[in-house]
Structure formats: structure tokens, C-alpha cells
Chains A and B, each alone.
Chain A
Amino acid sequence: MTDRAAAPGLAAVRAPAAGRWLAWAGHVTPWVIAIIVFFTAGGYLSLGTNALIMILFAMSLDLALGYAGIVTLGQAAFFGIGAYAAGILAVNVTADPTAGLVFGTVVAALFGLFTGALILHTRGVTLLMMTLAILTLLFEVANQAGSLTGGDDGLHGIRMDRVLGLFRFDLWGKTAYLYTLVVLFGWFLVAWRVVRSPFGRSLDGIRQNPKRMRAIGTPVWWRLLAVYSLSAAMAGTAGALSAQTTQFVGLNTLGVFLSGIVAVMLVLGGTRRIYGAFVGAVIYVVVQDYASKINPYYWMFIVGAMLIAVVLFLESGLMSLVDAARQRIERALGGPGAR
């Protein structure tokens, strides 16, 4: 039943057995792949870790932008603030990964709460401009506060203790990968639960018609603020993971380009379906690994072209192709989709 919600517009109720089986296969596949990657990636494992972090980041954007319809280009602000918070904590206070993760998440969430309270009264272009302005301001702060953030050179010297005092971050990034995977899975469960809750449904309504939602008594502003903060927390976790696993934070984590990148990932995979973030982020990270070796600006060109192409030709993302395939399978299996 959950899948109908993930893809509104799909043919109505499906045959119980075949449908449920396919749905379960769909749920298990990404995580099985993630575990297979762990055993087979070898030298590319750090790339895999990066992909997992980007999945989390894109998923955070899906909550705010996909579900709640908050058109933002400031998502990098939360990623960056989470990364800097975790990094600064590790350099100056404690090298415990869990503490850093929680700290980065909480700081980003509070920042989301604060800025959200300021800007979520507005809509449309004004809101977009506000998110950009806040991102620009943060960039300036990080740039000016060189003694704390390293300014233009980035934040170096992040050391990590064992995870939970047990697992040492090894040279091959095995711990980093599993650590990231577990955190991603935790957030995935939260996101999955949230978008299917009444709260998540009300976000759907707010995206489609905020006036009507207000008229039927939904506290629109509070709902938006809640999801914006949740999204910020999630992005903050992604940033903190990035700081901890790469042991470096650069100013580009607070750049508009990163906001653009995460939007590409999300839209490429498909908004409002959680797994869209998985598909988009993985494709993005893999392609980027090849392309940026040639020339970073060449890469920027591809990102831009991808954005344009997705908008013009594939608005509902790659996952819509998966939907189409699944419908076909179900039809072949003789479900009600056969009509």
C-alpha cells in the first residue's frame, strides 16, 4: 500500500501477492547492493562512502523541496554547517565520532529552525532569494572566521577516535563505509515513516495548495518549519559524515554549486519517492568520478547540461522509468494493472 503513495498516478490497487513481492524486492535491492559494494569495491570504497553521504543529502532535500515544495537553493548551508560543526568539534574538543555526528546534526537543525522561522513566511522567488542570501552569508562567516574554520584553506587536522569506542577508522575506509551506511539507514527509516505519516500527507497538501490547507485548519507555517528543520538536521548529518570520513571541510561545502549538485541528484532520480535520491546520487557520484578527472570545469558543464536536460525531457526522474517497468511486470503477472 505504501507504494501507491510513492507514485501517485500509478494504476490503482494491485494484485496482493505479486505486488507485495515486487515491493519487497524493491526495498531490499538498494541495501543488498550497498552491502555487495562493500565487499567488492576495493579501492573505490571511499567513492561508495561519498555516494552514501550524497544519498542522505539528496534525501534531505527531497523532504523540503520534493514533499513540502519549499523551493530552496540553500540546502548546502545545512550540509556545510553540519560539516564545520563536526569538524571544529573534532579539532578542538573531542574526537568521538558519535559526539561529532550529533553535534553537527543538532547545530544544523537549530540553524534550520532559526532561518526557517525567518523566511518561511515568504513564498516563491522571495523565499528562494532568502535561502541564497543565507547561504551567501554563511559562506562569508566561514571565510572570515579563519581562526576557527581555516578560511580559504579549509579545515584540516580532523582526527577520529573509534566509532562507539570499538571500530577504528581504517586506511581502506571500511569502517567509514559501514558507519555511513548505518547512519543512512537510520535516517532512511525516519524519512520513510515521516512522509507516510499524517504529517507527511499534510505536506503534500501544503505543496499543492497552501491556501486550502490553511482554510481547513492546517498550521501551514509550523508544518513547513518542522519539515525544514528536519531536512536541515538530515543535511547536517550528511555534512558531519563528510567531515568525519574525509577529515577535511572546504569552503565549497557552503557554495551554491553544491546546492545545484544536490538538486541535480534529486531530480535526476526523481523527487518525492525517497529512493529517487538513491538512484540520482549514485549515478551522479560515479559519473563525476570519471568526468572530473578530465577537468573540473568540464564537469560543471555536464552538471548544467544535465539540469537542463532533466527539466526538458525527464521531469519525473529516472525512477519513473522503474515505475513503468514495474507496471509492465505486474501486467504480465496478470494483476489489475492488466486492464
Chain B
Amino acid sequence: MSFGLTILLDGLAFGMILFLISVGLTITMGLMRVVNLAHGAFAMVGGYVAAVLTADGVNYFLAVLAGMIAAGIAGGVCEVTLYRPLYRKGELAQVLLTIGLAFVAIAALTLVFGTNYKTVALPDYLESPVDLGFRVYPAYRLFLIAVGLALAAVLWVVIDGSLFGARLRAAVDNRKMAISVGIDVNWLFTITFVGGSALAGLGGAIGAGMLPLEAFYPLRYLVLFLVVVIVGGEGSFKGSFLAALALGIIDTLGKYFLPEFAAFVLYSVVILLLLWRPHGLVPPKAVA
């Protein structure tokens, strides 16, 4: 029983990180149909900034916030300079440019920081375990779950409840119609891209304990982020939340019971799932 709960908590913590990092990707791929393979690079930027700052003794939360802002700025700059010309081009051009961007980010960070793993130093109260009654559990993972739930709630309110969210949903569902009724989709997308990158940066920074930071980060976890988006259903926030949690739990189960074959378990489930529901758990409206 308590073992099952532990796996559940571990899976949830991992799933939350996946959700935080992938939600920006869901928005960009759903809204602008841009295949953004460089998304992990923004998460990495956030993580590295936080790692460098905490190493200098900066407060953990300030460092994470700085990482988030840095990732947001990086995302904004790339959106305006590189992604804008890309919207009208085909999938292949998008794939090539964004994977190229990921290579550039990897190489640049390696040239500056070397190939060693970077750690984001946690404050003492997150480092220490907490007694949950049925077992002692790392506070850090509870913190991840809490942050993930809180942000999911905030996103829910913003996307389902605000005018901004309504415009965003309108643009996701029918971009041309949204433009016709006077929504500035380009501007909307820049803001959303910055927001998505900042969330990725946040995920990269606070998730460093579960997805270790190293130079090949954007490629190593790329498939995982894409899986969340696609299994969830392109452009669906609810879907990617569900998918992230489900994949987090499945991966954790795999790592506990078949440690050698964890990757096989995860990807086999994904492939079967997509054979069953090719458009994801919550399919986009256009195909539903």
C-alpha cells in the first residue's frame, strides 16, 4: 500500500515536471503548428541560469525566477528573429531549423560550461525528508507536485477564464477566423511563446533534481516532451496535463519493476496508445 503510494507520488512529481516543460510546447504546436524541437533548449537555459546563480549563493527561489525570466527572454528573441519566418514554411523547414537551434544551444552551453552535470542547489528545507505518516518522503518531490498543481490551476484559470485565454483558444481552434474577428494572432503568439518558454525554464530549473541538467538535455528529453504533447492531443492543455501525469506514473512504474527496460515500457505504451487514438487523449477539435 505505502509502496504503491510512493510510486504514485514519484510518478506525479515526474509527471508535473513533464507538464511544466511541455505545456509551452503544446501551445506553440497547437496554435501556430510550429514543430518546435528546440523547446528543451529553453528549459535547459532556465536550468543553467538557476544552477549558476545558486552556485553563487543566490536564494533558490530568486535563482529559479531568474532562470524563468532568462528562458522567457531567450524564447521571445528566438520567436521574433527565427520562428516568425518559419510559420509559412513547411514542416520540414521547421524541423530542420529548430533541431539546428537545439544543436547550437547544446554546443554553446558546452563550450561555456563544459560537459559536466550541473546541479541546482536546493535550500535545506527542500533537501530534508518529510514524515508523511505512512513513510518518510523527500520534501523536494512534494514541492514539485505542489508547484505543478498550483501552476496547472493558474493556467486553467488563465486559459479557461480570461479574455486572453479565450483569444488563445479561438486562435488554436481556427486561426483564420480569429484573425478575421480582429485578434492580433502574431502578438498573441509572441506572448504565448515567451510564456511557454518561461514555463519550460521554470520546469528545467526546479526539475533539475529529476531531469539532470547537462548539455545534451534538449535532445535527451526531446522525445519525452513531444510524447506528452502528442499523447495529450495537439493544442489541448487538459490532454497534456493528463498525458504528463500518466506518462510520469508509467515511467516510474517501469523504473521500479523493470529497471532495465523502463524506456521500452514507456515507448511501447505510447506507440500502442497512438495506434488506438492517433490524435491523442483529447483530440483537437478539427479532427474530433
Stretch in A100-108, A118-126, A329-337 with 4+ CB within 8 Å of B: A118-126
- Closest residue of chain A to B263, judged by CB? A140
Q: CB-CB < 8 A to A129: which residues of B? A: 223, 226-227, 230
Q: What's the nearest-Cβ distance from chain B to residue A80, in Å?
A: 16
Contacts A256-B219, A311-B89, A312-B85 given; indicate if A132 touches B100 (C-beta within 8 A).
Answer: no
A29 adjacent to chain B (CB < 8 Å)? no
B100 touches A301 (CB 8 A): no
B234 adjacent to chain A (CB < 8 Å)? yes
Q: What's the nearest-Cβ distance from chain A to residue B52, in Å?
A: 19
Interface size on A, residues (CB 8 A): 43
The one of A132, A267, A304, A311 that contacts B103, using a Cβ cutoff of 8 Å: A304
A256 touches B222 (CB 8 A): yes
A260 adjacent to chain B (CB < 8 Å)? yes
Q: CB-CB < 8 A to B263: which residues of A? A: 136-137, 140
The complex places the Cα of A308 from the Cα of B78 at a distance, in Å, of: 12
Contacts A132-B226, A133-B227 given; indicate if A260 touches B100 (C-beta within 8 A).
Answer: yes
Interface of B is mostly: helix
Stretch in B175-183, B198-206, B266-274 with 4+ CB within 8 Å of A: B266-274
The one of A130, A137, A264 that contacts B264, using a Cβ cutoff of 8 Å: A137
Interface size class of B (residues with CB under 8 A): 35 or more
Stretch in B9-17, B104-112, B125-133 with 4+ CB within 8 Å of A: B104-112
B107 touches A307 (CB 8 A): no
The complex places the Cα of A130 from the Cα of B270 at a distance, in Å, of: 9
Residues of chain A from 50 to 73 with CB closer than 8 A to chain B in the complex: 65, 69, 71, 73
The one of A65, A136, A140, A306 that contacts B92, using a Cβ cutoff of 8 Å: A65
The complex places the Cα of A285 from the Cα of B215 at a distance, in Å, of: 24
A167 adjacent to chain B (CB < 8 Å)? no
Contacts A65-B92, A130-B271 given; indicate if A308 touches B100 (C-beta within 8 A).
Answer: yes
Against B, the Cβ 8 Å flags (1 = close, 0 = not) of A67-98 are 00101010000000000000000000000000
B144 adjacent to chain A (CB < 8 Å)? no
A126 touches B227 (CB 8 A): no
- Closest residue of chain B to A125, judged by CB? B35
Against B, the Cβ 8 Å flags (1 = close, 0 = not) of A130-145 are 1011101100100010
Q: CB-CB < 8 A to B274: which residues of A? A: 122, 126, 130
Q: What's the nearest-Cβ distance from chain B to residue A251, in Å?
A: 13
B104 touches A297 (CB 8 A): no
Contacts A118-B271, A133-B223 given; indicate if A297 touches B111 (C-beta within 8 A).
Answer: yes
- Closest residue of chain B to A66, judged by CB? B92
A47 adjacent to chain B (CB < 8 Å)? no
- Closest residue of chain B to A124, judged by CB? B91
B82 touches A132 (CB 8 A): no
The one of A73, A126, A301 that contacts B230, using a Cβ cutoff of 8 Å: A126
The complex places the Cα of A124 from the Cα of B107 at a distance, in Å, of: 28
- Closest residue of chain B to A72, judged by CB? B95
B99 adjacent to chain A (CB < 8 Å)? yes
Against A, the Cβ 8 Å flags (1 = close, 0 = not) of B81-97 are 01001100101110111
B95 touches A71 (CB 8 A): yes
B8 adjacent to chain A (CB < 8 Å)? no
Residues of chain A from 280 to 339 with CB closer than 8 A to chain B in the complex: 295, 297-301, 303-308, 310-312, 315
Query: Which residues of A are interface residues toward B (Cβ below 8 A)?
Result: 65, 69, 71, 73, 118-119, 121-122, 124-126, 128-130, 132-134, 136-137, 140, 144, 256-257, 260, 263-264, 267, 295, 297-301, 303-308, 310-312, 315
